[in-house]
Amino acid sequence: MRLHHVVDGPADAPVVVLSGSLGTSLEMWEPQVGPLSKHLRVVRVDRRGHGRSRVSPDTTTLGDLGRDIVELLDELGLERVSFCGLSLGGLEGMWLAANAPERIDRLALCCTAASFPPREVWLDRVAAIRAGGMEAIADAVVARWFTPDFGAGHVETVARLRAMLVATPAEGYVACCEVLADADFGPSLSEIAAPTLVLTGSEDVVVPPVRGDELAASIPSASHTVLEGASHIANVAESDTFTAALLQHLSAEVGVP
């Protein structure tokens, strides 16, 4: 599966790959592009069935999503990168660090967990999309992405992210809902050797900070930082503190001052 991607930053700089949440495109990372690309080669990706990457006709697994990233690294001639994933992107990062450890320098797992129970929530969401399309779930999903206060103060930003969600192909979204319904990466977390930053938002109702504590405790070389005031799409809701935390984590590997 060839993934649509955009590359920014110096060609000879260390590389960080960014993979986002279910129902978003690579455009969700716009707040990070400028600051990160001063120091890094930034590769943003659309996972299969999202943004401008095509929908797979086959059932999708977490392994499929991870192998798509490996194929992209091969295509770009990148032997080893740092990886930052948010929500479903974080699960992709866990898979990569455990199954292709030679490709991952440092890992950032943002607003994510090793599993997303209960399974029925995802199956109900799939049923709603089958019945009414992406509009049927858009308002409920966006309400979980941002706090009411952020929504009131950033109307255009929330509208842009909502439009991004609605534009996601229904079949691509549904396929990844099914990945999340079945996800249980907990037994493999101890295999992750890469230095890992776990980031959670203090106001995240999808992955509250206690889930970040659990994740960091299960990964041998992990630390956990809670971003005060941040909700699920923390890189947008608290973009400055998110980016600063990410750069600090990457600094030992990439020479960020």
How far apart (Å, rounded) are the C-alpha atoms in residues 51 and 98? 26
Whole-prediction pTM value? 0.97
pLDDT of residue 253: 53
Question: How do residues 58-115 score in pLDDT, each as one tens digit?
Answer: 999 999 999 999 999 999 999 999 999 999 999 999 999 999 999 999 999 999 999 9
Burial 178-193 (b: 16+ CB within 10 A, else e): bbbbebebeeebeebe
- When divided into structural domains, the chain yields a total of 1
pLDDT of residue 252: 64
Within 8 A by CB and 6+ apart from 206, the residues are: 87, 111, 144, 145, 232
> Other CB atoms closer than 10 Å to residue 10's CB: what's the count?
12
> Other CB atoms closer than 10 Å to residue 148's CB: what's the count?
10
Amino acid at the residue 151? G
How far apart (Å, rounded) are the C-alpha atoms in residues 209 and 225? 9
- Give the structural domain span for 110: 5-254
| N-to-C CA span, the chain | 37
Q: What CATH code is carried by the domain that includes residue 72?
A: 3.40.50.1820
Question: Three-state SS for 121?
Answer: helix
Amino acid at the residue 76? L
Strands 81-86 and 41-45: unpaired
